[in-house]
A and B are shown apart, each in its own frame.
Chain A
C-alpha cells in the first residue's frame, strides 16, 4: 500500500463523487422547474385544471410533462421543453396577443426557470453536502 495507491483511490473517489453531484444537481434543477423547490423558491409548473366551461374534457399537465433533461457530454446537460406555452408561462407575457398571460391554475407559478438559475449555486451546495456528510 503506497502513497501512490492512496492517491489513485482518492482521485477515483473524487471523480465518482463529482459525477454524482453533477447528475444529482441537474436532476434537482429539473425538479425545481417542474415541481418547485424550497431551495430555489420556484413554485414549479402550473397544471391545467379543466372542467365545465373551460377546456372541458382536457387533461392538464402537458406543460409540466414536456420538460426533458438531456445529458449531452460528461459535464454538459440541458433542460428543455417544446411546449408552446412555456415561454409565456415563464415570463407572463401572452403570445401572440400581448398583455399579461393570466395563470388560472392554483398550482405552480411563473419564473420557475429564472428562479432555478438564480438558485443553482444553492442546489449545487445541497448536493455536495449530501455526498460529503
Chain B
C-alpha cells in the first residue's frame, strides 16, 4: 500500500521549485497572517478516491485526489501574482509525472485539467488565487 504522505511530499517539493514562488509557505490548514509586505503560499493535499482498476488481490489500485495551492500577494502585488499563478500552473501541467521516495509515479491528470481562479482582491490590499491540481497514482497493492 502506497504511503500517501509520499505523494503529498513530492507535490510540495515540486511547488518549491517554481520560479519566483514565495519563500513563505504553509503546508496544511494552519491559520496564518504574515506581514502585509510578505507574499505567501498555502498548500493543501486532499486524497479523494481509491479504486481497484484490475482484478485480483494484487491488482492495481488507482488513487486520485486534488492538490490545492493558494497564493497570496504582498499588499499591492496583484499583477505579479497573476503571472506567478500562471507559472505555478505550468509547473503542474497535465501529464507531468513525479516520482515519490518509494518509486510510485504520481501523474498530474487531465480529468479535470489543472486550473486556477481569477484574482480575488481583499480589502487588506492583498490579492489571492487558488490553483486546483488533480493527481492520480496507480500502484499494485
| Contacts A/B (CB < 8 Å), 11 sampled | A40-B48, A41-B46, A91-B117, A98-B120, A98-B125, A99-B72, A99-B124, A100-B29, A100-B70, A118-B66, A118-B112
By size class, the interface of chain B is 20 to 34
Taking Cβ atoms with an 8 Å cutoff, the residues of A that contact B are 39-42, 91-100, 102, 110-111, 114-115, 117-119, 121-122
For residue A116, which residue of chain B has the nearest CB?
B48
Known: A97-B123, A111-B66. A118 touches B48 (CB 8 A): yes
Taking Cβ atoms with an 8 Å cutoff, the residues of B that contact A are 29, 31-33, 42, 44, 46-49, 51, 64-66, 68, 70, 72, 111-112, 117, 120, 122-126, 128, 130, 132, 134
When the two chains form their complex, are residues A97 and B46 in contact, meaning their CB atoms are under 8 A apart? no
Known: A97-B123, A114-B66. A92 touches B130 (CB 8 A): yes
Q: Which A residues are in CB contact (< 8 Å) with B31?
A: 99-100, 102
Known: A41-B65, A100-B42, A115-B66. A95 touches B122 (CB 8 A): yes
Q: Which B residues are in CB contact (< 8 Å) with A93?
A: 70, 120, 128, 130
Contact of B130 among A91, A94, A97 (CB under 8 A): A91
How far apart are A130's CB and chain B's nearest CB, in angstroms?
17
In the complex, besides A95-B120, A99-B126, A100-B70, 14 extra interface pairs with C-beta distance below 8 angstroms are A40-B49, A41-B48, A91-B70, A91-B130, A93-B130, A94-B122, A97-B123, A99-B122, A100-B31, A111-B46, A111-B68, A115-B48, A119-B64, A122-B49
